[in-house]
Structure 1
């Protein structure tokens, strides 16, 4: 029986990054993946394929405005099948890259379902039914999450679908009904909106992306409405029924009225749930929380001292980069180091266009906490670079402590916000004040100037260009 210092179950961003860091630190490491490709949900049916389709469909949107730039394009044709093929090629290349990294770092890869026989013995059940046993001094559970569903919705994965099926449709929907106004629903909704679908979003909360700052939600709703997306916020879905190629979604509004939408596809995007199926964690003595998450302490150690868990399967935001940080933390903790993660500084991003990003406290959170704060905001439309690029939608909003001026949160919507948020994370990691950020030189003309101007606005209302 093979024996390892560390065995990682799951090869998503958290799992494979953790395995690499363990190997770098000198541990004999193995990784177990039940699918034939590495990379988990993120690389195979999540982050990477969705961004590939967003990129392709964004070109369609840009071409529609080429005439404004003096470029005439005639006879544009959308080939969805080729778009899907390109998406898959990107996925295949990315997953192959992970396999290369496993080989480079001498990490042994086992294909099959990993399950605990006891705290140190792991059974790997292969596709042919055979079982291989390995010994693990330490185990890191990184099995991720699966799409959630509402109990009364029957997913047929043909017309009533999850994000997985939405990434490989054979046709552009005539009317796509999206149940859930979060990240996944809005990103995939915008893909098909750009390709010609009518898109309606039904959201239980009173606004979309409810976990982000309210200013971002308001601005994104305005922009997406302008693009043609329809919203039904504060609507509770009552039923989803399929009749042939038609899907009917009934939802109740705040007045108690039932609104019925009819389309040819319904995308159920109501979040994700931790995935622990098949692990047999009870044999190892690992405990779950009431929410189905694996219970861990500050070192991401489970109730069993040599078993750890990271990523979507534990508490906190279900984000690939959060899982990566946790994977590194566990590896370094096992090596006797003292790593840390500031969960307040894990950024959240929505990859619509304009992109949406935020880090730190939202204004709603600060109000709830009774924190005294000040606000600086700056619109993208006031940027020379934004006007030159015809990307004038959006804003940057900075929240700072009223007394100390320390930055408490930075929230933005606009072109390249997914990249710009890194500046915000760096500033907050070093506990910068709004004044600090305001005095740092930003190249002109750039989108990043909006961050400097918002910092100026938070500092005695000193923004220059508004």
Structure 2
């Protein structure tokens, strides 16, 4: 068995592992990464962020074609199968893999393919698919193994009509009806995607509202537009059992209801990928969801072992994972360190949602005197030109100081638009006020102009 020595070994090549490894390599460290899949990129590239967002983009284009009156002059609305749309999305996945593979080669990072298991706090055993074994010895180890869908034992995921958010990507037909259990971010995104393909969707939520961490008005808008596209949302429901047969799936709810559909998608929760790491050999223990506890420098209870990304839980976003990986690596290198918090939320439903900062509910509970500045996309020239008139920009600001406290956006390009507000929020002193948007010239026509419109609306409320 070959033994290899490194300064840093990173387990996992998703956003967190990639940024940690590259950052360490750029600081002159000898670095290796371990990836158990055949290609780099992690769950983000192959089963999560990239495929679902690429899929969403294709569906959005189909919706635009089928609903735009201009296209009726050249043909009737078209129907596209899920598998056909997914095939186009795989082009993006292949591009991402090629690009990220080159990152490791360019930075002279050694890539080991296989399953890593701790022998001790400095040593990893890597077993490949052919039972070959490599031993990696490192000063520091970063766990960035990500997460996978939580799959309850009483649901038969081997049944050909029962899917989780990973296996749904291999769906080779388009069901006419679909039941989605779980109305979190993943459930809502897939409800948008499938309803956009003309599938009748039942979205089962075990809570009282959709995405309760969002601003209430944004959550209400999401509910309205999902229902407008034919999604039936059932709140405060729990499943009793799920039964699959040759022609479909029956879901028995604890409320006594029975729902029937061609297919079933479980989208309720995720589990950290820690069960194969041999954590018991270094005295670490994951929680009930497979997640590792870290301090405010991403260090585990073992001084030589760090953990970043989905494997540590909240916020479980690719954007945050990338920053966590870099900052864990910075801490290890004794460089400037930042604990990643107050990250923007991007939810790729149709239309999409993005927010940063406080919600109205949080400000009310904290007894902060705030006011609301709004701009509706239907009133902006750019949205009228593109036809994407659904949505709004909402700025929450302090009544007295005019300090910006939160940005909430719903509609086309929301995840891009929010970053303008985020940048202003992070400025020191008086630069972070509503006046910035009044005193700044925006290109016209643009979606960014919504900030000026909203700011003028907000000023009218306080002066």
Give 1:381's match in structure 2, choosing from 373, 378, 382: 378
Contact 2:300 2:307 in 1 (8 A): yes
Correspondence 1:47-446 to 2 at 5 A:
47-68=49-70, 71-74=73-76, 76-150=78-152, 152-156=154-158, 158-252=160-254, 257-289=255-287, 292-344=290-342, 346-431=343-428, 432-446=432-446
Corresponding position of 1:25: 27
Q: Distance in 2 between matches of 1:462 and 1:393?
A: 27
Q: Secondary structure at the match of 2:148?
A: strand
Alpha-carbon distance in 1 for matches of 2:228, 2:189: 16
1:273 and 1:439 mapped to 2: Cα distance? Answer: 47
How far 1:186 moved relative to its partner? 1.8
Structure 2 stretches of 5 or more lacking a match? none
In the superposition, relative to structure 1, how do residues 368 and 315 fare at CA in structure 2: closer, same or farther (>3 Å)? farther
**Aligned residue number for residue 456 of structure 2:** 456
Residues 63 and 73, structure 1, Cα contact 8 Å, conserved in 2 = no
What is the DSSP-based 3-state SS (H/G/I as helix, E as strand, rest coil) of the residue aligned with 1:343?
coil
Deviation at 1:460, TM superposition (A): 4.1
What SS is found at the alignment partner of 2:444?
coil
Provide the aligned length of Structure 1 versus Structure 2: 458
Which stretch shows the higher mean deviation, 229-238 or 65-74? 65-74
Aligned CA-pair RMSD: 1.9
Q: TM-score, normalised by structure 2?
A: 0.94
Query: Could you tell me whether the CA contact under 8 Å between 1:66 and 1:72 is conserved in 2?
Result: no
C-alpha deviations, 1:298-339, integer Å up to 9, x for none?
A: 110111111100011114210001000011101222222122
The alignment's TM-score, normalised by the length of structure 1, stands at: 0.93
Shift of 1:285: 2.4
Taking the aligned partners of 1:293 and 1:28, their CA distance within structure 2 comes to 28
**CA-CA distance at 1:279 after TM superposition:** 0.6
1:402 Cα deviation (Å)? 3.2
Contact 1:172–1:196 under 8 Å retained in 2: no
Kept in 2, the 8 Å contact 1:66–1:73? The answer is no
